[in-house]
Chain A
């Protein structure tokens, strides 16, 4: 790609680390929030926004641009941090995250501006919107790619499977879905709330090309996206297994949907991340 693959991977890892630090800072402002999801998904967001998506001058006015739909709209700290890192959001605006009146809300909404492609958060809706975009793009012969970041818990919503069925039926190979398998939902471990495995088999059965990957391994993620890019006739699903709290050893694996993050913990976490950068 743009540089030697190994250098590229290292650069992206560093960016993911910076994004993780930003997640801690953003959540620490309120002392509570989506820390674990943000740390866990930082590599996915980095790979999509800082490598896979074609982000260029005049990006937002380009109807054929690549788009990423954040179906898990609560994962807002990592989303906003990534947008800033990618140059799609003025970094200064991060200072208003979750403030009263701010466009940077706990759940991402279109109030933020063009960088939010659809307001999700009412879970299970993001993939449907991507299907519409991808279908329209095909009819217009546009070459944009349509990424969707879906939480594993969202697979409990029936609409996910309506959308899955239609994407395959329409042969939308311009869709690349990433299922963030952090195994965490409000009530705890996803598989203990409602059994969802075998996840990869489900997507295959719905007519998708599927690739399973360690969602915290940048190299593996890049390889998956590369496969998705070259896939034809079928939509592509990356089942990305992530670790909640990844990057901060004392937070890793803690399944906390909305975690309290006191100042001491935040400082300790930042220290660990800074040392790793």
Chain B
């Protein structure tokens, strides 16, 4: 059993790095400042979690456009709505659970229904926290996806953070941006990823299997695809579904060719999230592909290290490989990691 000894970077404080002397990367915070310098209407609202949401960067860089609301998520959504009605583009920040589950009615009535230009930014997606069930947003996508007119975005890690913030700020309407904090610096030669709202990104192509993934599962899916090819000769497509709503239906249907397995992978409940969204498209188009959802299987989770939780709840690369192989009736020839 993995022992959880330290908080993840996204947990309450990151003023002291939990990674020794390594600087805590703040790709989201830096991106928001960069975009705010280009778009003067962008405002940054916080709910007592500046460091955890990387908005301390904004607070220090552009203090006149930073508003600390305090531990008042419902009020913060209403305040953001009022500001949007005055022409501002408020980005409201907290942990995803509090922005969505706690303030759902306020989001529905003051953001989604009036189509206000409010950007709701939720951190600690799914299992990415030691803090356990109270802080794990495992149904936030489902909640936000059910609101008419709400756009739901989850970038595939730090490399896509800047593009996500830029796309969201430039889009006129309500958005839920689901953010994971970076856990390590990007490699020097790692290119930043683009993001066009509503346009899925096919990262690799293969004829046997397609994995539709979002957030941290995109990286897992790419690793799984390599293993599947190497070990089992399974040719796999991996599609980054950074926009969960509106879903790129065409991208789904393109993969739905006869005999090809389809898997969704998300750091979220399998109910109501990406898996449901893809299933709806497939079912309505009458596609009969073998289909499987990887995600949190209709259960609340416990606190723990990410690696432990991913293993326990079936979000690890190994699990993804296993179910992919099973789905295509391949037999595991050797024990996976």
Q: Which residues of A contact B (CB under 8 A)?
A: 63, 109-110, 117-122, 125, 127-137, 139-140, 142, 158-159, 162-163, 165-166, 169
Contact = CB atoms under 8 A, between A and B. Distances in A.
21 contacts: A118-B110, A118-B114, A119-B109, A125-B74, A127-B78, A128-B79, A128-B82, A129-B110, A130-B82, A131-B79, A132-B78, A132-B81, A132-B84, A132-B85, A136-B88, A139-B64, A158-B74, A159-B74, A163-B75, A165-B72, A166-B72
A166 to B, nearest CB: 6
Nearest to A170: B67
A118 B82 contact: yes
Contacts of A169: 70
B75 A140 contact: no
Given A125-B109, A159-B106, A131 B78 contact: yes
Given A110-B114, A118-B114, A125-B109, A63 B87 contact: yes
Interface string B76-104: 01111111111110100000000000000
Contacts of A118: 81-82, 85, 110, 114
Nearest to B78: A128
Contacts of B70: 165-166, 169
A119 B113 CA distance: 8
A166 B79 contact: yes
Nearest to B105: A122
Contacts of B43: 136
A275 B113 CA distance: 43
Interface centre among B65, B75, B83 (most CB of A within 10 A): B75
Contact of A131 (B64, B82, B84): B82
A120 B106 CA distance: 10
Nearest to B103: A159
A127 B77 CA distance: 12
B327 interface: no
B69 interface: yes
Contacts of B65: 139
A125 B75 CA distance: 8
B106 to A, nearest CB: 6
Contacts of B90: 132
A132 B113 contact: no
A128 B75 contact: yes
Contacts of A142: 86
Interface centre among A118, A129, A135, A159 (most CB of B within 10 A): A129
Among A109, A122, A162, residue most surrounded by chain B Cβ atoms (within 10 Å) = A162
B82 A136 contact: yes
B322 to A, nearest CB: 45
Contacts of A137: 86
Interface string B48-74: 000000000000000011010110101
A129 B79 contact: yes
**Best-surrounded residue of B70, B80, B82, B110 (most CB of chain A within 10 A):** B82
B112 to A, nearest CB: 11
Q: 9 closest pairs, A vs B, by CB? A: A132-B82, A128-B78, A162-B75, A136-B86, A132-B79, A133-B82, A162-B72, A129-B82, A132-B83
Given A110-B114, A166-B72, A136 B83 contact: yes
